[in-house]
Structure 1
Amino acid sequence: MKNPFRFRFLALALLCYLLPYQLLAQQLLQGRTLDARSRLPLEGVTVTASTGEQAITNESGRFALTVRQQGVALTFSYLGYSTQTLTAANSTEELQVLLQPTAANLAEVVVTGYESNRPLLQTAGALSVVEPEVLQRFDESSLVRAVNTVPGVRMEERATASYRLSIRGSSLRSPYGIRNVKVYLGEIPLTEANGITNLNLLDAANFNRIEIIKGPTGSIYGAGTGGTILLEPRRATPGERVLQAGTTFGSFGLQRYTASASMGSEKSSLLVQYTRQRYGGYREQSAMDRETLLLTSSFYPSAKSTINANIIYSDLYYELPGGLTREQYEQDPRQARGGMFGSVVQNASMNQKGVNMGLSQEYRFSDSWKNTTALYGLFRFRDHPFNTDYERNANQEYGGRSRFVYTSNMGAVGTTVTFGGEYQRGFEAARTYDNNLGRPDSLRTDDEVLAKTGLLFSQAEFTLPSNWIATAALSLNDTRYEITRLRQAASGGAYQYSRDFKAVLSPRVALLKRLSERLSVHGSVSSGFSPPSDEELLTSDGVLNQELEAEKGINYEAGIRGYTLHEKLHFDVVAFHFRLRETIVSRQDLSSIAVFRNVGATEQSGLETAVGYTFLQDEALPVSLFKVWGSYTYSHFRFKDYQRDGTDLNGNRLTGVAPHTATAGLDLATRFGLYLYLTANYADAIPLNDENTVYADAYVVAGARLGFKRELGQQFQLNVFGGAENLTDEKYSLGNDLNAFGARYFQPAAPRNFYGGLSLSYKL
């Protein structure tokens, strides 16, 4: 019989001998997964080792995985992102994995709105995303068609590149330009301290995607009762090394040229993009010429730090044909405004040059704490002969925004606290002259305008048991103008005027319930505050509007979004009621200058819906994509407590708002590279004056784009396309002049028109 003690001793010795080798073979792999485009952490990514072990990333995107041997392959998979596999050769370094997003549905889209950085299904608020594929389904000569696919949003062009934008409201405050909507480019405010956004200085190709937040967002983004637009600039992605060039030609003298170079690595990226667009114009005095140069760069000096820098230079010239009466519109929609102060005679046009520079850094102190700080500066010059005067303005501005985010768990409650501030300071030298046949003549006014605006904000977000998410936010907003009149021709007198729209608290509370993994409901109450812009206080005729007050309002909304039918059908429905006090409206005076004043109030109730159904989406099939989608907006907007010249306008429809609008589209793509996009837009009749005695006719316009995209070998990609707009050859007015003097309400849009072009990419 064998000695049992000897057997046990030999077994123990063998175990002690083999254990170090076993421990040596095992290794702990740690890392972090991020969205390659936004650099936001991704929670819920499945990490699978080639030896079978698995792990799931936490809310900070981190994972830890013990494997049985060295040199294993790790596969990272996440819904809405391309699967990535890499070999982990060294366990001493933390891995940083960047996943590329694919075409996503509601469950997969991660949004930055409300500073939540959550999937859209987990975001309590009316928020829409214009993805790259939506921007690229049109010819990129204008943002208007892409933005107008979003329910509750209306973008117009009074003239080529003369943008006007409203979110859940009318364009009464915006006879020209963009007001009452806050716009950011990345972390950088594009809306200047004076309340004006010159979005037309940028090109549609400068953006990767657009987030549109509807309703008051002052609790996070400052003054504004309309909403907020977050523009994501084009950037090079990690591993991208591409040269690209393209051209487009179209009706009415459209010429468009683009060229870009992008280089991306794990530590840095750089994109340089140049665009040039010319347009002869459908109407007389409606030509346009714009050049933009975009430079974006990103640096990742460590796993904790991300630095982004943007520089945009723009040189824009466009002509202003002016509004027509209905008789002129019916007789010849191609004509420009005539008469002694006609657009051609006075060379009514806009010439703007601008440089916008921004620098931002996100620094992650730990898994719980991070800070994002952005600094920016801009310089802009405007030379603007108008029908009745001539303006020359020079503006310089600087500002910054900083926010801290703290994430922790209080028992079963996940908590994210965000707090920070924003400050902008702008100085403008503005001179107005008589317009003598398109040349500056006698000086009318010489002003210096100093605008200062800022806010402090805080927000707490709680992830509660039973799939509830609660949000409470508060901000303190303040805007101040200091106007110095150096000279006024009529009186010769100089004066100083200061106006402080004192600090106003803007709260927001929101609640979201996830009914399932595919369905959520949400509701919110928010307060808005919007002071006048400097152009509303100091109009171009030199009159100082000292009585104008800030708008204030409260918004209530509730919505449901989700997807069903095996994830083929997605929908997003929001109902809202917004009561706005001290509503600012505009009217044209005898010299066609817009003058502004407060009226009692408006009540704005509406319904916004977006829906889409994907029949096919499989790159292996001959027809790789087939889907239909649509959006519908119902607007019941009415004046309240509004008296003008003894006339009671209470209950009238809000000027410039169509009660019903709708957009529908069809997307078709094949495995061989052929694709087809069809789009149709409907707008109901629109009241053009506060009295509701003049309406723009309802219209339906349709567009189509047919193209062929193909890889040529390993390095080239060719995209050849052609398209048409206004296939129905509808006669309609886009960008109507509201409350126009002399009944010049109509700005005719182009009839049926065509375009075609190509782009060629080369992978280095």
Structure 2
Amino acid sequence: MKRIILFAACFICVLFTKAQTIKGKIVDAATKSPLSGATVMMGGKDIASTDKDGMFSFKCTSSVTISVSFVGYETQKRTANCNDELNIELAVAGNTLDNVEITATSNQNKSLLYQPSSITKLSTTELNRGNGLFLDDAINSNVPGVTMNRRAVSSGQQFNIRGYGNGSRGTRGISSNFDGQGYKVYLNGIPITDAEGITVLDDIDFGSIGNVEVVKGPAGTLYGLAIAGVVNLETVKPAKGTSIGQEVLIGNYGLQRYTTHFQYATDKSSLLVNYGHQKSDGFTIHNSSKKNFVNVAGNFQPNAKQTIMTYFGYSNSYDERSGELTPDQYNNDDYSGNIAYIRNNAHSEVLSVRAGLGHTYIFNSHIANTTTVFGTSFNNNASSAGGWSDKSSTNLGVRSTFATKFNMQSGASLSGITGVETQRQNAQAVGYNMKINPLDNQTTGANPWVVGRPYYVINTATSNNATQTATTSLFTEWTLALPHDLSFTAGLGVSNMVIRLDDRFNSATATMPSHYDTTYKGMVSPHFAINKVFNTKFSVYASYSTAYKAPVSSYFYVVTPAAGPAPASSKVNGSLKPEKGEQVEVGTKGSLLGNKLSYQLALFHTSFSNKMTTIAVPNPNNTATLYSYVVNGGEQDHKGVEAFVKYNVKGGKDGFFTSIAPFINFTYSDFKYENYKFMTGTTTANQKTYDFSGSPVAGVSKIVAAVGIDVDTKCGFYGNINHLYRDKMSVTSPDTLYTSSYNLLNAKLGFRKRVSTHFDIDLSFGVNNITSTKYPIMIFVNQLPDAYVAGPRKANYFATLKLNYIF
């Protein structure tokens, strides 16, 4: 009997020992998405591979050391005991270049090294080198080929990507940059750009942004009407744990920013709640700014197959505008502004609500879907020298993509992204002229308006237009990844836009209807690329991309005023075509010297055809402009070189420094007008031919360079110093007026420390424009006498205190 009991006990122990297993899940360290097909090795032999959900398991009898690998990722070793459940995050090989997180791509490997295009990524390091509130300092110093302007302290922001110039204003000149057109901007996957293709950034809280990715050049395949490129913004990602914090920033020119935030994050969920109050007295007359922001962003993973994204944003923004300076004012240091603007209490007030709900579902190891529905309510009232305008709009839309992946023989794989983005806007805009304030007892004429008298007030309506715009883009892109890190990418996007306008101010007549509508369709945007990665350290690529920009509601129709016996008439401008952008780019990226040296180099040739411009038609006597309309004037030929290099030296175990990272970037732009001829006039006597061919594209500096260094220490001190050089640029076409070149020197020094288990502190002091250089924060192209928006004339100081409590 004892032998039987002993035998049974031994048998049970053997069974129990054999039943022991080690389980685990392998995911991408950046995106947290499961990696299917990763290999688990022990003692040089394959013992397991991950399934569609990134899961693996194998039997064990004792503690073991395993090696986990996946193509394009750094191999990781782990020691585990029987019955352990491991959560392993693999980093992309050469991750000094970072991963693409919020930019659409068909490549399964999200490392920038594997993307055959020019994408610049900004993290909190670059975003917080300055005060972190306005974004333009981060863009202008860290994104080669891209300039960000602003019309005042924190309004009228625009991007100029590789010299495109934001399209036609619809009133005068070529390459106008009166508003933001030609590029698309997204926040947490939600379009900020409206259905008409116009981007307003007054209501965006750049102080809450933690990640920026900029796609440079035509991006029509995956983003529709994005002829210049795409800017993707993402709010700060909460660190793991629960915390509340308060930030206070104080600077000269009356700058104040107060931010209160709550952050919560686990392996499967995160929540950010942010409130910001920001104000400034401005750095010139009639230039104050006041803003209130609320941002709520959440990500939740109820199970291994599903992820839910939510975003809600509220903004109440008011910015005064002093108007643009004439060249004489700017050259003579006369910052008194434009009296016609100040008289009309020029400003931009924006009240907006933006919300989005996204859902990702992983069907199996081959296909997953991400769908985001979004909506924006936007209300804006603004005044300028020309009068007052009220605009209310609602944008609704959806973006849905299917990510697909198929493993093939011999280690090859085929991955793709296929989807649709559609957006519709209903808007109403009412314009008014302005008159002397009834409370103003002084007279005009010999006693013109001066600062200190009551502002002008709204008078009578001059226009009332209701518009409906809708755009839809269908797209698909595929990447064939072959052994030896060679990949081919091909894609196709098809876009259309519908514009309808109802004139609710003027009564319809036989020659002048009150309803206009047209459709721009068949805008086909192919994309081809090849990428080769060498030893997972550096890559070489070549690509061809295209995109379009359709006309907007302000100039898709022509109004001809009455002239003699001929009555006023109007019609849709049927000859107006969308602009088209085509780009050929070759480049190389790499992470060398043990991942200490990272670089990107791109050479591109972009051609914009059917470029829109405005023709002013004079009266028969050639004494005044009779009317204006927009035509396709010619081409722009852009050739450029962009380079970025960063060297990151990690400190030793016992050293004072944890990181020393010098960086430099350089942009060379040779942009010219080609075949840019058009004629104005209604009679032989007043006809005039304009020819801009061969002239440099206005609003672009030929050379821009930035150099700097970031330093971190073990004791908590950190700092940076950076220098920006911008070459002269032409203000008008042809190039009869140039701005001066300038240099900006900025620096920041700070101290951050976890003073206890629950308490963090971060104190910093910075100076922008240390040498008090005179420079413009924006140049209005081809709009003389309006030309310059001057930046702060003196050094701009700021100090920041950040307190954070961790539960």
Q: TM-score, normalised by structure 1?
A: 0.90
**Residue 698 of structure 2 is aligned to residue 631 of structure 1:** no
**Secondary structure of 2:342's aligned partner:** coil
CA distance in 1, matches of 2:91, 2:98: 16
Change (3 A) 1:96 1:536: farther
Q: CA–CA distance in 2 between the matches of 1:84 and 1:405?
A: 30
Q: Judge conservation of contact 2:95–2:111 (CA < 8 Å) in 1.
A: no
Once residues 322 and 347 of structure 1 are traced to their aligned partners in structure 2, the CA distance between those partners, rounded to angstroms, is: 10
SS of residue matched to 2:780: coil
Q: CA shift at 1:722, angstroms?
A: 0.6
**Secondary structure of the residue that 1:317 maps to in structure 2?**
strand
CA drift at 1:17: 6.6
Which residue in 2 is equivalent to 1:3?
A: none
Distance of aligned partners of 1:633 and 1:594 in 2 relative to their CA distance in 1, 3 Å threshold: farther
Counterpart Cα distance in 2 of 1:44 and 1:568: 30
Residues 61 and 82 of structure 2 are in contact (CA less than 8 Å); yes or no, is this contact kept in structure 1?
Answer: no
CA shift for structure 1 position 72: 8.9
Cα deviations by residue, 1:695-744 (Å, 9 ceiling, x for unpaired): 01000101001111111111111111111011121111221111113x22
Match of 1:157 in 2: 150
Structure 2 CA distance for partners of 1:57 and 1:629, relative to 1, 3 Å: farther
Asked if residue 428 in structure 1 is aligned to residue 427 in structure 2, the reply is yes
Which one of the candidate residues 670, 675, 679 is aligned to 2:713?
670
Q: State how far apart, in whole Å, the 1-side matches of 2:37 and 2:598 are.
A: 22
Residues 60 and 82 of structure 2 are in contact (CA less than 8 Å); yes or no, is this contact kept in structure 1?
no
Counterpart-to-counterpart distance in 2, 1:411 and 1:44: 13
Alignment equivalent of 1:409, drawn from 382, 407, 410: 407
Output the amino acid matched with 2:381. D
Residue in 1 aligned with 2:137? 145
Q: CA deviation at 1:331?
A: 2.6
Aligned to 1:550: 578
> What is the alpha-carbon distance in structure 1 between the residues aligned to residue 312 and residue 380 of structure 2?
19
Q: Equivalent residue of 1:199, what SS?
A: coil
Where 2:198 maps in the other structure, the secondary structure is coil
Distance 1:503 1:723 in 2: 51
Say if 1:169 and 1:122 are closer, same or farther in 2 by CA, change over 3 A. same
Give the distance between the partners of 1:81 and 1:541, measured in 2 at CA.
Answer: 66
Among 343, 346, 351, the alignment partner of 1:353 is: 351
In 2, distance between residues paired with 1:89 and 1:273? 44
Residue 517 (1) aligns with residue 536 (2): yes
The two structures, once aligned, show a CA RMSD in angstroms of: 3.6
CA distance in structure 1 between the partners assigned to 2:210 and 2:74 by the alignment = 17
SS in 2 for 1:329: helix
Which segment is superposed worse, 708-717 or 263-272?
263-272
Q: Retained in 1: the 8 A contact 2:587–2:601?
A: yes
CA contact (8 A) 1:164 1:735 kept: no
The structure-2 alpha-carbon separation of the partners of 1:206 and 1:52, relative to structure 1 and needing over 3 Å to count, comes to farther
Note the 1:175-574 alignment, pairs <5 A. Answer: 175-237=177-239, 239-338=240-339, 342-412=340-410, 413-436=412-435, 437-488=455-506, 495-537=514-556, 546=573, 548-574=576-602
Residue 114 of structure 1 and its aligned partner are, at CA, apart by 2.5
Cα 1:618–1:128 change in 2 (3 A) is: farther
Change over 3 Å in CA distance of 1:157–1:483 after alignment to 2: same
Code of the residue aligned with 2:119 in structure 1: it is L
Structure 1 residue 170: Cα displacement: 4.0
Question: 1:366 deviation in Å?
Answer: 0.9
- Paired position in structure 2 for 1:21: 16
Distance 1:491 1:459, change over 3 A: same
The corresponding residue for 2:779 is 736
- Equivalent residues of 1:33, 1:57 under 8 A apart: no
Distance of 2:34 and 2:279 partners within structure 1? 41
The one-letter amino acid of 1:127's match is: I
Does 1:121 find its partner at 2:113? yes
235 and 565 in structure 1: CA distance in 2 versus 1, 3 angstrom threshold: closer
The CA deviation at 1:440 is 2.1
Distance 2:670 2:605 in 1: 9
Alignment-mate amino acid for residue 805 of structure 2: Y
> Which amino acid in the other structure matches residue 420 of structure 1?
G
Distance apart, 1:31 and its partner CA: 2.2
Aligned residues of 1:212 and 1:227 also touching (Cα < 8 A): yes
* Distance (Å, rounded) in 2 between the aligned partners of 1:602 and 1:306: 44
Find the aligned partners of 2:49 and 2:715 in 1 and give their Cα distance.
37
Contact 1:619 1:671 in 2 (8 A): no
Please give the alpha-carbon distance, in whole angstroms, between the structure 2 residues aligned to 1:58 and 1:362.
21
Aligned counterpart, 2:163: 169
User: Structure 2: 5+ residue runs without aligned partners?
Assistant: 1-5, 168-175, 436-454, 562-569, 618-623, 679-687
Structure-2 change in CA distance of 1:43 and 1:695 (3 Å): farther
- Tell me how far apart the structure 2 counterparts of residues 699 and 657 of structure 1 sit (CA, whole Å): 14
Contact 2:238 / 2:272 at 8 angstroms: preserved in 1?
yes
- State the partner residue of 1:746: 788
1:723 to 759, 766, 790: 766
Map Cα deviations across residues 102-159 of structure 1 (whole Å, 9 max, x no partner).
9951166667443435111111111110112111221012110111111011101121
State the 1:403 CA deviation.
0.9
Q: Tell me how far apart the structure 1 counterparts of residues 698 and 317 of structure 2 sit (CA, whole Å).
A: 30
Question: Alpha-carbon deviations, 1:248-271, whole Å to 9, x = none?
Answer: 111111011111001123443221
CA distance in 2, matches of 1:588, 1:630: 44
Asked whether the 8 Å contact 2:212–2:234 carries over to 1, the reply is yes
Mapped to 2, the partners of 1:485 and 1:372 lie a distance apart of: 39
8 A Cα contact 1:71 1:90, kept in partner: no
Q: Is the 8 A contact 1:179 1:533 kept in 2?
A: no
Residue 22 of structure 1 deviates from its aligned partner by: 2.7
Q: C-alpha displacement at 1:531, in angstroms?
A: 0.7
Letter of the 1:401 counterpart:
R
1:268–1:298 Cα contact (<8 Å) kept: yes
Q: What code does the residue aligned with 2:33 have?
A: L
The answer on whether the counterparts of 1:267 and 1:300 sit within 8 Å (CA) in structure 2 is yes
Note the C-alpha offset of 1:327: 1.6
TM-score of the superposed pair, with normalisation by structure 2: 0.85
Q: Secondary structure at the match of 1:549?
A: coil
Using CA pairs under 8 Å that are at least 6 residues apart, name the structure with larger relative contact order, 1 or 2: 2
For 2:724 and 2:628, the matched residues in 1 are separated by 30
CA offset at residue 620 of structure 1?
A: 5.2
Segments of 5+ residues of structure 1 without an aligned counterpart are 1-10
- State the secondary structure of the residue aligned to 2:746: strand
2-side partners of 1:61 and 1:607: how far apart?
A: 42
Change (3 A) 1:140 1:369: same
Cα separation, partners in 2 of 1:448 and 1:72, compared to 1, 3 Å: farther
Secondary structure, aligned partner of 1:23: helix
Task: For residue 18 of structure 1, report the CA deviation from its aligned partner.
Answer: 5.6
* CA shift for structure 1 position 186: 2.4
Q: Distance in 2 between matches of 1:619 and 1:124?
A: 37
